[in-house]
Structure 1
Amino acid sequence: MPLILSEEQTMLRDSARDFLAEQAPVSQLRGLRDSNDATGFSRSLWQQFAEMGFTGVLVPEAQGGLGLGHVEAGVVMEQIGHQLCASPLLASGIVAATALRQAGSGAQQAAWLPKIASGQAIATLAVDEAAKHRPQRLATQARAEGGGWVLDGAKTLVLDGHVADLLIVAARVGEAGTGLFLVDPKASGVTVERTVMVDAHNAARVRLQGLKLAADALLGTPETGAAALDATLDAGRCAAAAELIGLADEVFERTVAYIKERKQFGKLIGEFQGLQHRAATLYCDLEISRAALIKAQQALDADIAGATNHASSAVAIAKARAGRSATTAVQEGVQMHGGMGMTDAFEIGFFMKRARVLQELWGDSNFHFDALAQRRGY
């Protein structure tokens, strides 16, 4: 398949770009940070997301969504990266929606997907339990009891968990099973603590103590839970990679514009061959990462039934490359801007912090390089 956008996807990109540039510039994130906003994003903007169809991009049309794929979701996420827009789209519209599509029963999907698509409900995945992403080592336990389930454990880095209407909790079931459970964050036995991350976006710590759930709180079965979790995480990783490419592209554009107008030693610094070479190298690196991203998105869209080694490998490459490319972009951006690049008054620091968080989210480059090596027998 061609590694370029179709006419319809290009129209979606342009629409998202214009909307976000006008309604959610980087200055809005600064305002949310400085005011210590309790929500961490604009509710009115979130409703506009729903009206634009962004919240339902991966939700089937029968459930009130657009019924599109990961390429289209990535198009929107890339533009979010350009503006560093704070919203629950990644957590709810991408990851949670994928979990419900992958493992949810007809009743579970009917109960939640229309609400997610309309922006009425925010759902999020609770999987990580430590500083590093290790989804195969779940300590949270779910045990069958009285015709239902009892959950005990703790989760960290639950995106937008402080405002979530639904938690999708990954837990170990027995010796080898994995369960995805629908949890009401206001239920007895659930404690949610908001955490503000270094990039001014929000997450939460969630503690589960003797949480009792009905039998139908389980998505799918413990035997299929691991595959559903892998597919859900791959969707999130691919979307996070798209946001990384978007923010890296924005930093690149700003940096090139700056060196074209900044004078030093009596001439434009963009005329120095050393800076030209660095900018050219960064451009090539970003384009390679963008191609890897589109390939991963297409692989996920072709793999509707669930994550395969091919799709998962493509996602691993895309996430690892996007993380490294974004890190290089923000580091080069700060250096080429000189002293002003180090100040909080200048926006490039926001991009650096967001890149750092996204690189760690659901596995950093080393995690994905290792996963790829294991899949290939190394």
Structure 2
Amino acid sequence: MSLAYDDEQRLLADTARDFLAERSPVVAQRALRDRRDPLGFEPALWQEMVELGWSAVPFGEVHGGLDFGYQGLGVICEAMGRQLSPAPLLSSVVLCGSLLEGLDDPARAADLLPPLIAGEWRPALALEEGRHHQVLPRTCRARGTPEGFRLDGEKSWVVDGMGADAYLVTALMEEGDPALFLVPAESAGLSVEGLTLVDSRNGARLRLEQVLLGREQLLARGERCGALLETALDRARACLAAELLGASEALFEMTLEYLKTRRQFDVPIGSFQALQHRCAWLHVELALARSTVMAALEAVDQESAERARLVSLAKWKMGAVAERVSREAVQLHGGIGVTDELDVGLYLKRIRVAQACLGDGDYHLDRYASTVAAEV
């Protein structure tokens, strides 16, 4: 496993960092929050990202992608985390793109992926049904009809669900098999309600009441559906860990700069040994967390047998370190650390949401333990 970017990844990282610092700085996220933007991102800026090729990075050339893998996409997610840049990259490209790319019907994938990569069509994955992360559906049901299927149920937290053109919805078939359906946003019986998240990002709740679909809207079912979901979710979890890494490192650097400039007793408070020890601990933990993130992204690209274990390790470790960095940042900034005028609070809120998304620390500790036990 490499612990450093190669030349191409470094070039991509530098390009992403410069672009986002200029076009999507933290102040832009603050502006979106203050005007209560229902989308939570700027569509024009998202199109600029698409034009840079970011939406094509993980896909093969057969679908019009750049075949740069999730290690390439990870450096972009890290740069987005540093600037708190909102965009439907995770929801549309990683989650939905992975599911569509893996379909058993190549013609169907060839039909749906190009408009997604071009930014002309934005789907969102409707997966969660309760307060805790579950991969497979439990309450959303799909029943057969003469023409196809009828869906009934609710989805509780759809990332970037507001304004989506379509939804990939998981549901249980009458036989008990999980299934994945493509549900157009304009479907009769489908209602979408915006959620208020602490990080001001785009979230939605879906209600499906007798939503009628044709047979062609069934994308996958049974074990194949479960396998597709696990692959897509692991890719997204690794990218989320990379975003958390970027946000944590930016917050740590912000805190170090404050310790160098804030003075008490005529000296910088960063000269106090007790504070130096706390920062040294954070520096070491961030380095360790980076190694887990890079290992997870590599395992995803190589389709390693250790993918599940390494991804859960990265999501848990990065979440734990991000929580510690954000708490220390608030404490080391003192009273100003809890004011809205400082960006520390924006980072803390995004970190908390990203920690919970696609499985919190407890979920991934349990999953990691299960994978290790299975190997013994």
Q: TM-score, normalised by structure 1?
A: 0.96
d(CA) in 2 for partners of 1:186, 1:66: 32
Distance 1:340 1:371, change over 3 A: same
Q: Identify the residue that residue 4 of structure 1 maps to in structure 2.
A: 4
Instruction: Identify the range of structure 1 (259-268 vs 11-20) with the bigger mean alpha-carbon deviation.
Output: 259-268
Aligned to 1:220, the other structure's residue is in SS state strand
Structure 1 segment 101-120 matched on structure 2, within 5 A: 101-103=101-103, 105-120=105-120
User: Structure 2: how far apart are the matches of 1:354 and 1:28?
Assistant: 14
SS in 2 for 1:223: helix
Question: Following the alignment from structure 2 to structure 1, what is the Cα–Cα distance between the partners of residues 312 and 320?
Answer: 12
Aligned to 1:163: 163
Q: What aligned pairs does 1:324-335 form with structure 2 within 5 A after superposition? A: 324-335=320-331
Q: Once the two structures are superposed, what CA deviation does each residue of 1:35-91 show, in whole Å capped at 9, x if it has no partner?
A: 112322111101100111112222222322222211111110000000001111111
Q: Given that residues 127 and 137 in structure 2 are in contact (C-alpha distance below 8 angstroms), is that contact kept between their aligned partners in structure 1? A: no
Matches within 5 A, 1:89-100: 89-100=89-100
Query: What is the Cα deviation at residue 192 of structure 1?
Result: 0.7
> Does the aligned pair in 1 maintain the 2:313–2:365 contact within 8 Å?
yes
Distance 1:325 1:48 in 2: 32
| 1:37-76 equivalence runs, <5 A | 37-76=37-76
Q: 2:38 touches 2:162 (CA, 8 Å); kept in 1?
A: no
Going from structure 1 to structure 2, the CA distance change for 1:89 and 1:104 (only over 3 Å counts) comes to: farther
Q: Which residue of 2 aligns with 1:270?
A: 270
RMSD: 1.4
Is the contact between residue 149 and residue 213 of structure 1 (CA under 8 Å) also seen in structure 2? yes
Look up the equivalent residue of 1:336 and give its one-letter code. L
- Contact kept in structure 2, 1:58 and 1:97, CA below 8 Å: no
Alignment correspondent of 1:260: 260
Check whether the contact 2:39–2:201 (CA below 8 A) recurs between aligned residues: no
CA distance in 2: counterparts of 1:31 and 1:156, whole angstroms: 26
- Deviation at residue 376 of structure 1 after TM alignment: 2.5
Misfit runs of 4+, over 4 Å: none
Bigger drift between 171-180 and 33-42 goes to 171-180
Check the 8 A contact 2:137/2:170 in 1, yes or no.
no
Check conservation: 2:57, 2:72, Cα contact below 8 A.
yes
The Cα of 1:176 is off from its aligned counterpart by: 4.0
Give the gaps of 5 or more residues in structure 1: none
Alignment-mate amino acid for residue 21 of structure 1: A
Deviation track 1:129-149 (CA, whole Å, cap 9, x = no partner) reads 112112245211112221512
Aligned position for 2:139: 139
Return closer, same or farther for 1:104/1:56 CA change in 2, 3 Å cut-off. farther
Which of 342, 350, 354 is matched with 1:358 structurally?
Answer: 354
Provide Cα deviations, 1:105-131, integer angstroms capped at 9, x if missing partner: 223212221111111111111100112
2:369 aligned residue: 373
C-alpha distance in structure 1 between counterparts of 2:10 and 2:83, whole Å: 18
User: What's the CA shift for 1:260?
Assistant: 1.0
The Cα of 1:357 is off from its aligned counterpart by 0.2
Secondary structure of 2:282's aligned partner: helix
Determine the C-alpha separation between the residues in 2 that align with 1:277 and 1:217: 57
Tell whether 2:27 aligns with 1:27: yes
Note the 1:241-252 alignment, pairs <5 A: 241-252=241-252
**Structure 1 residue 344 corresponds to structure 2 residue 340:** yes
Q: Which amino acid aligns with 1:248?
A: S
Tell whether the 8 Å contact from 2:42 to 2:87 is kept in structure 1 after alignment. yes
Displacement of 1:372 in angstroms is 1.3
- 2:284 and 2:241 map into 1 onto residues whose CA distance is 17
Q: Give the residue type in structure 1 aligned to 2:351.
A: A
Counterpart of 2:152 in structure 1: which amino acid?
Answer: D
Check whether the contact 1:73–1:94 (CA below 8 A) recurs between aligned residues: no
Whether the 8 Å CA contact 2:58–2:66 is kept in 1: the answer is yes
- One-letter amino acid of the structure 2 residue matched with residue 292 of structure 1: T
How far apart in 1 are the matches of 2:104 and 2:209?
24
Output aligned runs, 1:122-271, within 5 Å.
Answer: 122-136=122-136, 138-271=138-271
Q: Which residue of 2 aligns with 1:85?
A: 85
Question: The residue matched to 2:310 in structure 1 has which SS?
Answer: helix
Greater mean deviation of Cα atoms: 135-144 or 331-340: 135-144
- Matched residue SS, 1:4: coil
**Given that residues 233 and 358 in structure 2 are in contact (C-alpha distance below 8 angstroms), is that contact kept between their aligned partners in structure 1?**
yes
Q: Hey, what's the Cα distance between the residues in 2 that align with 1:104 and 1:333?
A: 47
Separation of aligned partners in 2, 1:68 and 1:146 = 43
The verdict on how the C-alpha distance between 1:11 and 1:175 changes in structure 2, with shifts beyond 3 A counting, is same
Whichever residue aligns with residue 165 of structure 2, its letter is D
Displacement, 1:186? 1.2
For 2:357 and 2:176, the matched residues in 1 are separated by 25
SS across alignment from 1:20 = helix
Paired AA for residue 350 in structure 1: L
State the one-letter code of the partner of 1:164.
A
